[in-house]
Amino acid sequence: MSATAVVIGLISDTHGQLRADVHRALAGVAFILHAGDVCGDDVLMELDLIAPTYAVAGNCDDPDHPRLARQIERTVDGIRIHVSHGHELGAPTVERLLATYDADVIVYGHTHRPLIAKAGSRLLVNPGAAGPRRFDITPTVARLTITNGTADVELVELK
């Protein structure tokens, strides 16, 4: 039996800027999950050109924006995915995120620092900041691949 992979684009902290290279980095994804600090409808409309986009509000977003949820919970091929910005925990650490959310894959932003951490069968992902360069950190996004109930993720650097 052949496995069908579902690839999901993960992005965060665009802060009103969407780099053109995001089109290459997220090409072919089934949908995009934005982990907050979107800072503009233009960002969401541009991401929608790549794939349907679902986003949460970050600390720099209007919490009443009609397209921004407080959190997103989705299940894909038996894998439960949670998305929130992370600011709701103060400083989002691996330990705090694991203790607060029981999803198989936890996606967050806020720190601007890309991170992939595994805790048993659970996966934590901060896709990094895809917007303006800050803290001398290379802008990144991530591609989450779910195949036969297994999740794997890779970071993609943006130009």
Q: Please name the residue that has the structure tokens 């995001």.
A: 22
CA quadruple 103, 15, 113, 66: dihedral, nearest 10: -10
Contact 125, 103 (CB under 8 A): no
- Bridge-based pairing of strands 79-83 and 72-76 is antiparallel
Q: What's this model's pTM, rounded to 2 decimal places?
A: 0.95
The pLDDT assigned to 1 comes to 44
The predicted-structure confidence for 39-76, as pLDDT tens digits, reads as follows 999 999 999 999 999 999 999 999 899 999 999 999 99
The predicted-structure confidence for 74-101, as pLDDT tens digits, reads as follows 999 999 999 999 999 988 999 999 999 9
Q: What is the DSSP letter of 109?
A: -
